[in-house]
Chains A and B, each alone.
Chain A
Amino acid sequence: MTLEQPLATRSPRTLAEAAEAHLDDVLGYLLYLTRDRETAEDLASSTFEKALRLWGRFDPTRGTARTWLLGIARTTALDWFRAESRRRKREEAAALPERVDEVFVEGLSPELEAALATLSAAEREVLALRIVLELDGDATARVLGISPTAVSTRLSRALKRLEERVNEG
């Protein structure tokens, strides 16, 4: 009898395996970053399309598939943020409202949802990675391209602000 290692902890053999194991992580991260389910799903889809092109370059010795996919998701999201920023500037004259869901994560209390909405994307992404997805400091640092110390600082600042906002609400 052979014991099969859980897919989430061993290195996936195919991108399909990686997608099966980490789709929720990618979506969750993008959801916290964009605060819009539809956008997050679009970006998740784009992330896996990019991953499909880059799969040949994935090296399990340099990091887990989860970290690698989250890195691609972040790049995809940043591209989207840039495009959104340009779009908003163009449409400011028309005063089109920014599209965000009132309830972007199902099950969250309205107070917490509202408090999260007041945080910046940078704060939400560190919360998503460290708290929601429970990545360790090093993996988070790798995804964000900053040092583990900076991750700690950013996380504690984000948590403090979140707590303040929840208490205010």
Chain B
Amino acid sequence: MTEILDELRSTRPRAGDALRLQVQTVTAGVPTAAPSLLDRVRGRRRLILLVPAAAALAMVSAIAIGVSQPASVREAGTSVRADQIFGAPEQPGNSATADAARERLKTQAGTPGAPAVGPTVGRPQRYSAELQLEVPDADGLSEATQDALTIVLSLGGYAVSTSFGTSEQTGAASLVFRVPTAKVQDALVRLSALGTIVGQQVQIDDLGDQVSSLEQREAGLREQIARLTARLESQELAAEVRATLLARRASAQRELADVRAEAAAVNREASLATISLSLRTEDAAAIPATPSRLDRALDRTVDILAWEGIALLYFAVVAGPFLLLGAAAWAARRTQRRREDERLLSTS
């Protein structure tokens, strides 16, 4: 074996002058090997670099947008919040700052009898209102709570639940009242006067359709019962038919009782409004401080990153299967090609 190896090594082929000259001609004048970054980073390497580069780009763009646009976005957001609380429309493009807007709206809403949507007279409606008031201190809180109970009782309402808690100079109370719907507007006006309004929400659900439907069902059932009763008065009915009619009438009567009970419940619901009153001292008030520019920029950046994440996820879900299929096809083709090469070399 050693002899064979020695012979193979000692007879190492050498290129002839003609080939050497030909290759020298081909390769002459080629510049120094200095691959560009793009040339050096190819295939899988390029992919490995591409992923963090894309992530960095996404991060940088999110920060850039977050830093350049935070103020306008957040001011718009504050005006929306103010609208929700006070019901005062904010003009788009208003240049007032968030603090100014809050002060202006607070002043409007703090006026006793501040606008609150009232129930429509003559329509059955489910009326619920939430009122958030600020009082100066713990003493004021106690006094306002007592006054609220007095007001509600004087209007024919009652307290469903109350909770009250103080700690040194701060505190909060939460009360839920049922008040006759006819007097809810009066109740809201008087309750609003117990402190500074910081929030007010009203929800009205119309029950008219429900009431009409119940009335129609009640009338129909009455008519059905009357018809069945009339038939039962006949003396010529067979025993089985009579038994069937009696059963049907009993069923209709039970259904009628249910419909009446339901109608009564709806009427009761419409007759009493629910008022949720939250009282708190000014020190405990959790009016969020106007966020700094940095905070707003960070918030905006996080929002954008979240959206980028969602977009990426969406892309992965949509394109993922196709990419996997493509990768599998590429891998299969590569393996097949290698096998073909091996077979070719094994048989040559």
* Chain A residues in the interface with B (C-beta under 8 A): 11-16, 18-20, 23-24, 27-28, 31, 33, 41, 44-45, 48-49, 51-52, 55-60, 78, 81-82, 84-85, 105-109, 112, 120-122, 125, 127, 131-134, 145, 159, 162-163, 166
Of B27, B42, B342, the contact of A122 (CB 8 Å cutoff): B342
B40 touches A59 (CB 8 A): yes
B30 touches A16 (CB 8 A): yes
Contacts of B7 in A (CB 8 A): 108-109, 112
Q: Which of B15-23, B218-226, B273-281 contacts A (4 or more CB under 8 A)?
A: B15-23
A52 touches B33 (CB 8 A): no
Of B16, B341, B346, B347, the contact of A41 (CB 8 Å cutoff): B16
Please give the number of chain B residues whose Cβ is less than 8 angstroms from any Cβ of chain A in the complex.
39
- Which residues of chain B from 302 to 348 have a CB within 8 Å of any chain A CB? 338, 341-342, 344-348
Report the minimum CB–CB distance from A52 to chain B (whole Å).
6
Report the minimum CB–CB distance from B28 to chain A (whole Å).
6
B20 touches A23 (CB 8 A): yes
Contacts of A56 in B (CB 8 A): 33, 35-36, 39
B33 touches A12 (CB 8 A): yes
Contacts of A19 in B (CB 8 A): 23-24, 26-27
Of B11, B24, B36, the contact of A16 (CB 8 Å cutoff): B24
- Say yes or no for B230: interface residue by CB 8 A criterion: no
* Chain B residues in the interface with A (C-beta under 8 A): 1, 4-5, 7-16, 19-20, 22-24, 26-33, 35-36, 39-40, 42, 338, 341-342, 344-348
Contacts of A44 in B (CB 8 A): 15, 19, 23
Given A19-B27, A24-B15, A134-B9, decide whether A85 and B4 contact each other with a Cβ distance below 8 A: no
A60 touches B347 (CB 8 A): no
Which residue on A lies nearest to B7, using beta carbons?
Answer: A112
Which residue on A lies nearest to B33, using beta carbons?
Answer: A58
Given A28-B13, A106-B13, decide whether A121 and B348 contact each other with a Cβ distance below 8 A: yes
B1 touches A159 (CB 8 A): yes
Q: Which has the most chain A C-beta neighbours within 10 Å: B13, B14, B35, B346?
A: B13
B23 touches A106 (CB 8 A): no
Contacts of B5 in A (CB 8 A): 131
25 intermolecular pairs with C-beta atoms under 8 Å apart: A19-B27, A23-B23, A24-B14, A27-B19, A28-B12, A28-B13, A33-B345, A41-B16, A45-B19, A45-B26, A49-B26, A51-B27, A52-B27, A58-B33, A78-B341, A81-B344, A82-B344, A107-B11, A120-B345, A120-B346, A120-B347, A122-B345, A125-B345, A131-B5, A162-B4
Contacts of B29 in A (CB 8 A): 16
B32 touches A13 (CB 8 A): yes
Given A107-B10, A112-B4, A166-B4, decide whether A57 and B27 contact each other with a Cβ distance below 8 A: no
Which residue on A lies nearest to B42, using beta carbons?
Answer: A57
